[in-house]
Amino acid sequence: MRYGKFASVYDELMEDIPYERYVEWVAAHVKSGTLLDLACGTGTLSQLFAEMGYQVTASDLSEEMLAIASQRFQDAQLQIPLLQLSMDHLEGLAGFDAVTIAIDSLNYLETEQQVQETFKEVHGALNAGGHFFFDVHSLYKVDHIYMESPFVYDGEDISYIWHTAEGDFDHSVIHDLTFFIRNGEFFERFEETHEQRTFPVEQYSAWLEDAGFEVMETTADFTNEKPGDDSERIFFHAVKK
């Protein structure tokens, strides 16, 4: 999945995401140590972890996202290694106390095999007893909420029209986005298509166990509550056996 011009507007569109609560969730289980932030995007979460004292390595597949993350780290005077890797091919990375895949990034993997391979790769990258944290869209969000499009956002400098359609697989969605970005007195238009897929909580848990993890908790929507029928975002915390 390539993020083209979308990378340049990503931070503004994600400004409502409570990244600090994500850090608090991880810090409640791993106080310090080495941390691999997979699918780091523009590096917001990586920066927060580094400022908390973690030894962070950040990775993403998108050159555009990594360029923005690099500038972010430079501006913050943070020495965070940046790698261009797919989460299902970590090229022998090892020695981490924690791994994160945040903000539904795992849902960009198309096949069951890619998800399973990612879990195996993460398992190999972790130290014994290491912690794995990630979140995914719920079935309810993909099958119902996303199908209520179009969604419209009208900001001062950025606007978009967001259409969705069912994808080729069960519990998958195709996002067709049209952006209008202010450029002086005018607006520049560009379009991108993103595809996501999710699976039942029980399936993710089974794949984690098959990869050698113990699932410690599943929660929903940035709370400590168990997922319900109308939960939108599911959080997993697993530990390498």
Residue-wise pLDDT tens digits, 60-119 = 999 999 999 999 999 999 999 999 999 999 999 999 999 999 999 999 999 999 999 999
The predicted structure's pLDDT at residue 1:
46
Decide which of 1.10.1660.10, 3.40.50.150, 3.40.190.170, 3.40.50.300 is the CATH code for 6-138+199-240.
Answer: 3.40.50.150
pLDDT higher at 135 or 12: 135
The predicted structure's pLDDT at residue 83:
98
Q: Determine the average pLDDT of the residues in 230-237.
A: 98
**pTM, two decimal places:** 0.95
Cβ count near 58 (within 10 Å): 29
Residue 3's pLDDT band (boundaries 50, 70, 90)? low
- Range(s) within the chain of domains with CATH label 3.40.50.150: 6-138+199-240
Instruction: Please state which architecture CATH assigns to domain 141-196.
Output: Single Sheet (2.20)
Q: Determine the average pLDDT of the residues in 116-136.
A: 98
**pLDDT above 90 (res 7):** no
Q: Write the pLDDT tens digit of every residue in 28-44.
A: 999 999 999 999 999 99
- Range(s) within the chain of domains with CATH label 2.20.25.110: 141-196
Distant-in-sequence contacts of 174-183, Cβ < 8 A, 24+ apart: 175/146, 177/6, 179/5, 179/6, 179/9, 181/5, 181/8, 181/9, 181/157, 182/156, 182/157, 182/158
Q: Write the pLDDT tens digit of every residue in 148-190.
A: 999 999 988 899 999 999 999 999 999 999 999 988 889 999 9
**pLDDT above 70 (res 4):** no
- The CA-CA-CA angle for residues 106, 167, 180, to 5°, reads 80
